Amino acid sequence: MTKLSFLDLVPVTDTGTISQSLANAADLARHAEALGYGRYWVAEHHGMTGIASAATSVVLAHIGHATDSIRIGSAGIMLPNHAPMVIAEQFGTLEALFPGRIDLGLGRAPGSDQRVARALRRTLASDERQFPQDVLELQAFLAGDVQLGITAVPGAGTYIPLWILGSSTFGAQLAAMLGLPYAFASHFAPDALDEALDIYRRQFKPSAQLAEPYAAAAFNVFAADTREEAELLASSQQQAFVALRTGNPGKMQPPLAGYKDSLPPNARAILDHVLQCSAVGTADDIAAGLKAFQARTGVDEIIVASSMYDHTARKHSLALAMQAAKSL
């Protein structure tokens, strides 16, 4: 069976609170662990009222204390927003708290707009063009490289596994060059998926961390006992994508029957394109979707993404996704 992991943006609903969203994340992580998911990912986003995972390392500590064995990690930390030493210290602390369970996925997008990026960094002198150098510096801090002249404590000597995340061929080339695992954000940016995976595998160079290419890709799953219910549950995420694409992001809205059909043709086409790496329906529908996605990509790990308004329905969707994967 292809390995399954889970990506949580820690959504905040229109009637919910951040405290409740964080409590839901801990509960969902325990549930994913019991179901057999291998990894629980949390992503860094800023300035969005509908996402509560901005302080990613803090959220991961919360998840770690709620679970026992599942690997936990960032998918990802947007490294241009941070000094590499700070991230080495934060994740070195996580490694000390939860030994052998931490993964550090790195991206070069701001996870925000330029105004938020400026507020985070104080200056835009550090940007995505420095990303490869920042990755190497972070790697050196985690290795305790004496040539740095300074030691990250905690952090030095932990050799926390690094991942490169991306939605273009740039990340694939960097991951291949550094010999790191690679994860593609196909759950919202599917265009370069096939090309990026091909480049990563062809150009991969073995490293101390990884002898052979290891690729993951994200896939949206909205599962329920009936196809009609699953389609209804998926409408909250559809609303969120439309709101984001039209410059109106906000808290997650309740499911809306017939939402997609109510959109103008151009908006429906955008939604179909953005969410093409998705499966909506019963366990059988999800199994068919996962099988086709695996056949297309050949990835070693599928990262299930599933933001839903109702927490109980989301837990059930997670269970059906695992049931579907085990049936293949």
Tell me the CATH number at 222: 3.20.20.30
Q: Determine the pLDDT at residue 30.
A: 98
Per-residue pLDDT of 4-39, as tens digits, reads: 999 999 999 999 999 999 999 999 999 999 999 999
CB count in 10 Å sphere of residue 258: 10
CA separation for the pair 322, 139 (Å, rounded): 34
Q: Determine the pLDDT at residue 116.
A: 76
Question: What average pLDDT does the segment 205-218 reach?
Answer: 98
SS3 state at 63: helix
pLDDT of 99 higher than 70:
yes
Integer CA distances (angstroms), 50 to 239, 243, 275, in order: 12, 11, 19
pTM, two decimal places: 0.94
For residues 20 and 60, the answer to whether their CB atoms sit within 8 Å is no
Question: What average pLDDT does the segment 150-178 reach?
Answer: 97
pLDDT of 241 higher than 70:
yes
Question: What average pLDDT does the segment 81-100 reach?
Answer: 96
What percent of the chain is predicted at pLDDT more than 70? 96
pLDDT band at 111 (very low <50, low <70, confident <90, very high): low
Q: Determine the pLDDT at residue 254.
A: 98
Per-residue pLDDT of 275-319, as tens digits, reads: 999 999 999 999 999 999 999 999 999 999 999 999 999 999 999
pLDDT band at 1 (very low <50, low <70, confident <90, very high): confident
Q: Determine the pLDDT at residue 320.
A: 98
Comparing 35-49, 116-130, 245-259, the range with the smallest average pLDDT is 116-130
Question: What average pLDDT does the segment 82-107 reach?
Answer: 97
Domain count of the chain? Answer: 1
248: CB partners within 8 A, 6+ apart = none
Q: Determine the pLDDT at residue 127.
A: 57
Hey, what are 187's tokens? 């759950």
Q: Determine the pLDDT at residue 266.
A: 87
SS3 state at 184: strand
| Interior/surface letters 91-105, b for 16+ CB within 10 angstroms, e for the rest | bbbbbeebeebbbbb
Q: Determine the pLDDT at residue 128.
A: 60
CB count in 10 Å sphere of residue 225: 11
| Interior/surface letters 150-161, b for 16+ CB within 10 angstroms, e for the rest | eebebbbebebb
Q: Determine the pLDDT at residue 124.
A: 58
pLDDT of 125 higher than 90:
no
Identify the residue with better confidence: 81 or 92.
92
Closest CA to 321 of 304, 298, 309: 304
* Residue ranges making up the domain that contains 227: 3-326
SS3 state at 280: strand
Q: Whole-number mean pLDDT of the chain? A: 94
